[in-house]
Amino acid sequence: MNDPRLRASDADRQRVVADLERHTAAGRLSLDEFSTRVDAVLAARTHGDLGQVVGDLPPEARPSADARHLLVAFAVAAVVVALLAVIISVYR
């Protein structure tokens, strides 16, 4: 997060709620803990307030850049295979 004294935006709050959803899905938070923390996020005014809500959770719940790169590579490979299939069918 940025300077803890800066005001948090709605987008900042939404990002933290999404992080809490991922942590809950991973089993790090119970539904009661999730609910309590979401209430705290919605009441947060600064980045410092948001940081306190997720300070005890590991940062790796966010999808990694490697996963995004793998998805892009898979999509490119699928397009190449489709193009090759079209080219082969045209020249047969």
Q: Are residues 80 and 55 in the same domain?
A: no
Q: Are residues 18 and 55 in the same domain?
A: yes
pLDDT in tens, 42-60: 999 999 999 999 999 998 6
Instruction: Compute CA 47 distance to the chain's CA centroid, rounded to the nearest angstrom.
Output: 18
Helical axes 31-43 vs 47-54, angle rounded to 10° = 170
Q: Are residues 57 and 71 in the same domain?
A: no
Instruction: Check: pTM over 0.75? Answer yes or no.
Output: no
Phi, psi of 34 (to 5 degrees): -60, -50
pLDDT recorded at residue 64: 59
- The segments of the chain whose pLDDT lies below 70 read 1, 60-67
For the record, the structure tokens of 89 come out as 């069918």
Full domain range(s) for residue 84? 63-92
Q: Are residues 79 and 51 in the same domain?
A: no
Q: Are residues 16 and 29 in the same domain?
A: yes
> What is the total count of domains within the chain?
2
Q: Are residues 41 and 69 in the same domain?
A: no
pLDDT recorded at residue 79: 92
Q: Are residues 54 and 72 in the same domain?
A: no
Q: Are residues 36 and 79 in the same domain?
A: no
pLDDT recorded at residue 61: 46
